Amino acid sequence: MSEVQTVDNMISITIDGIEYKAKEGEYILNAARANDVFIPAICYLTRCSPTLACRICLVEADGKQVYACNAKVKEGMEVVTSTENILTERRAIMEVYDVNHPLQCGVCDKSGECELQNYTLELAVDSQSYMIPDTKRETTNWSSVLHYDPGLCIVCERCTTVCKDMIGDAAITTAKRGGAELDKSYKESMPKDAYSMWNKLQKSVIAPSNGTGETNCSDCGECIAVCPVGALASRDFVYQSNAWDLKRVPAVAAHSSDGAQIYYEVKPTSITDRTEKIYRVTNEWNYVSLDGSARFAYDFQNTTASKDKAAFDAAIEAFKKAETIRFNAMITNEEAMMLQTLKEKMGVKLYNPEVKAFQTFLNHYEAASGNSLWTTDPDAIMKKSDFVISIGAALRNDSPAMKYAFNNVQKLNKGAGLYFHPVGDTLIPTFGKTVEVFTHKVGHEELALYLVLDLFADKEKLPEDVKEYIDSFKKTETKTIKEKEVKTVKEMVLNEETGEEEEVSKKVTEMVDKEITVTTNGLVDLLGGDASKFDAAFEKMMKKKEHFSMMLGEDLYYHEKAENIAKLVALVEATCDMDVVMTPPKSNALGVALICDLDDAQSGYTIGYNENGDFRLSALGDGDLDMPALNQQEGTLCNIGKRLLPTNAAVEYNGYELNDLMKVLVGAPELTIDWTAMLPTDRGFKAIAFDDLTNSFDNDGSDNRGYRLETSNVETDLPEVEKCDESALLEGEIAYRCNPARQFNDFTDKSHEIFEAFALYASTEKAEALGNKVEVVFDNGSITLDVLADEKITGDIVKVPDFKAAKGVYDLFGGSRYKTVTLRKV
């Protein structure tokens, strides 16, 4: 959590006679939780809007019964968590939840970690007073990963809430269940809240919101995580293991740069095979939300590895003659540090096409703004921003954390958003009513930043030439429009009763020609928006907005004018009262960017680490020497939140590690994690040993995982920016290097619960036009791909994935993310 709690936004409240401090404007339930006070609650999710389905969080605040999940604390408020009436209500609510709930705890996957079990015991429900005929509800599979058993569902709506408020897919909703009506006599005899909760519960069930039996979503599985009962489960996990048999290994999600907190849950594979296997991934869902790669791409370990001395010796020889080491972002900080040491001591080149552009962009940004790293993070955005702008990121694919933050701001902070991207997307506009999507031309990213400057900058601070440039887009026209005008006309009317003439005023509407001056913002039109409507829309968006944040994506790092863009970003920050977050492309790109001096190109004999090369080190089990995968090693990763996060080994590894090679080559400490304290402190790392790193969340949601990287800020002059270079515009058939959601690299592809194919993704119309298979021809080669339709894409740009290193997609695209290509039907 980045927001510093100051004394002045804290107020004091009393809960059950004890005084506590609470943040102003916080819900009673969250305030109680932050202070370790227990109030039962089933349907409420921290970071989402209150659902008010379970009604069990009833408390008395200043003598009035309220729901703790949606009543805000006030200075001096006195909260009582249980009165006689509240206890009666809660007991009745739990009895209702238990009515007709299948007595199959024995086989239920949730048994042992089930909130229905817990609260039934907590409230000591030992008998049942209510009854109703049960409704037959069939078990269904919603997607390739989601399994729903409506018989077990208590319709708390946590799944629908998280899907809408956090994930943004809104792929599931409550639907009609059918079945018996409640007995009328219950209305009188039952406690009031329990009755109304039951009335709703009895009518509802959860279903995909598109009306079919299948969800069309990103398959993140967050609904599974938040389900308090066994109703939602991963298809792969159903009846595989009891919760209590699994050992939790705290770790970091390896694939995206979110660095989300996860637990690998391990247990022996079977009775005959006692090697440990990862059965599932869980998370602290109150504080962190996972994407599909974090939750389902877990079994990517290198199982074939053994200590092959011959291969090891060959590797040593290879390193001795190597000129280049080519690697990617799937690497821990410690390993990156080792490679950097090799560079310093042996003079090898380090080549990393995934990270190089990002590193360069960071350097440009630092030079222009004086900030060593970006100034906010997705968590902070969710907590306080109410206006977010996304430029250059395929939000759905690149960075789940940014997508969630963008969506969450719309839903919870009554926020607004601007989304700039060349590839049209149908999901983003559904995040909120005040989200404007600009589908601009490839190469117009600079203009997007100029528009941001125009809309948000303090014009006093802007350099003259920038102001002039922005104004050059504005056209002032004098238009004659017809306008309705209401006129009051006085008439003399003869009053028939009195026979006298009276003056009566009448209202008459007339059409009048009027001359007005209209300023059209050419930038809006250039970026694919509609300038005539934008001004009004923007005015609406800006109402009551205080905190502005900007999200930047990978497109900008690979932009031809990356340096100018970095300067523009710095200018935005300096003049707009806006903070910025950048998404590191994939996994530990930030760690690599901070630790390694990367070279521009590879040359000579190359060692590929999970990449192509003359000698291949590989954690995929297909190289010349085996390496441990990220779920088989201890170490640290850096994420989009600018934190260094410790991760632990979940499964066994029997081969050599990079550190073993280092010992022979240049000398190294005993363990890989001994490198943790040696990470460069001048780049923001701290000299803290791995075992001293913490790894937890506090009850109030503060993140104590690892540590936050030290950032520096140097006062700098405003950067000199260039105008948008229109010559960089791409025309014709354009391919965009972008992975389908859930796929990031060879490791996600290896995982058995990830199904997204290595194919060309296009909008439905485009896919139809292209047929089943195409050859994508670049300047320097071509690749043949199956064509898949993604109905959430609009427009003509096609997406070419890069998650298979062996396909060499990075080389085809060269230094950019967009390329003009020829698509040939095959």
Partner 1 sequence: MGLEQFKNRNVGTQNYTMVDAGHSPQGAMCQFKQVVKRTFKGELFVGLWVTMRSMIKALFANDMHTVKYPLEKLPISPRYRAIHDMLRLLESGHYRCIGCGLCEKICISNCIAMDTRYDENQRKEVSEYTINFGRCIFCGYCAEVCPELAIVHGPRYENASQQRAGFSLFEDMLTPIDKLNLQQEYDGFGAVSPNADENIKQTPLAY
Q: Which of 52, 132, 728, 788 binds partner 1 (CB under 8 A)?
A: 132
Contact flags string 692-731 toward partner 1, x per CB under 8 A: ---xx-----------------------------------
Q: Is 87 exposed, middle or buried (0-12, 13-18, 19+ CB in 10 A)?
A: middle
CB of residue 246 vs partner 1: minimum separation in angstroms? 11
Instruction: Give the DSSP per-residue string, 164-199.
Output: IIIIS---EEEEE---PPPPTHHHHHS-HHHHHHHH
Contact flags string 637-666 toward partner 1, x per CB under 8 A: -----------x------------------
CB of residue 206 vs partner 1: minimum separation in angstroms? 18
Residue 180 near partner 1 by CB under 8 A:
yes
Nearest to 612 by CA among 349, 319, 325, 348: 325
Stretch that binds partner 1, among 270-278, 452-460, 466-474, 803-811 (CB under 8 A): 270-278
Query: Using alpha carbons only, what angle is made at residue 44 by residues 41 and 47, rounded to the nearest 5 degrees?
Result: 140
Instruction: Name the residue nearer to partner 1 (CB basis): 242 or 782.
Output: 242
> In this structure, what are the phi and psi dihedrals at residue 446, rounded to the nearest 5 degrees?
-65, -40
Residue 248 near partner 1 by CB under 8 A:
yes
Instruction: Name the residue nearer to partner 1 (CB basis): 92 or 451.
Output: 92
Q: Which of 317, 577, 691, 765 binds partner 1 (CB under 8 A)?
A: 691
Q: Which of 24, 181, 245, 313 binds partner 1 (CB under 8 A)?
A: 245
What's the length of the chain?
826
Residue 275 near partner 1 by CB under 8 A:
no
Q: Which of 241, 286, 702, 782 binds partner 1 (CB under 8 A)?
A: 241
Instruction: Name the residue nearer to partner 1 (CB basis): 126 or 464.
Output: 126
SS3 (DSSP) at 740: coil
What residue has token string 């290509």?
A: 821
176-187: burial string, b at 16+ Cβ within 10 Å, e else? ebeeeebeeebe
Enumerate long-range contacts of 529-536, CB under 8 Å, 24 or more apart: 529/436, 529/438, 534/436
Residue 127 near partner 1 by CB under 8 A:
yes
Size of the site for partner 1 (CB under 8 A): 33
User: Distance between CA 211 and CA 659 in Å, rounded?
Assistant: 54
Stretch that binds partner 1, among 152-160, 237-245, 654-662, 798-806 (CB under 8 A): 237-245
CB of residue 179 vs partner 1: minimum separation in angstroms? 11
Residue 603 near partner 1 by CB under 8 A:
no
Residue 195 token pair: 């009755």
Q: Give, as ranges, the residues between 98 and 117 that touch partner 1 (CB under 8 A).
A: 105-107, 111
CB of residue 139 vs partner 1: minimum separation in angstroms? 6
Helix or strand run (H / E) with residue 266: strand 261-268
User: Distance between CA 278 and CA 618 in Å, rounded?
Assistant: 20
Instruction: Name the residue nearer to partner 1 (CB basis): 134 or 720.
Output: 134
Instruction: Give the DSSP per-residue string, 362-383.
Output: HHHHHHHHSBSS-S--HHHHHH
Instruction: Name the residue nearer to partner 1 (CB basis): 185 or 517.
Output: 185
Instruction: Name the residue nearer to partner 1 (CB basis): 98 or 560.
Output: 98
Residue 525 token pair: 């039109």
Q: Give how far the C-alpha of residue 653 lies from the chain's centroid of Cα atoms, to the nearest Å.
A: 31
The rounded radius of gyration (Å) of the Cα atoms in the chain is 30
Contact flags string 730-769 toward partner 1, x per CB under 8 A: ----------------------------------------
Residue 539 token pair: 């005015």
Q: Which residues pair with 635 in a beta bridge?
A: 647
Residue 808 near partner 1 by CB under 8 A:
no
Contact of 48 with 165, CB cutoff 8 Å: yes
Stretch that binds partner 1, among 241-249, 332-340, 413-421, 736-744 (CB under 8 A): 241-249
Residue 184 near partner 1 by CB under 8 A:
no
Contact of 386 with 409, CB cutoff 8 Å: yes
Interacting residues with partner 1 (CB under 8 A): 105-107, 111, 126-133, 139, 180, 238-242, 244-245, 248-250, 270-272, 634, 648, 671, 691, 695-696
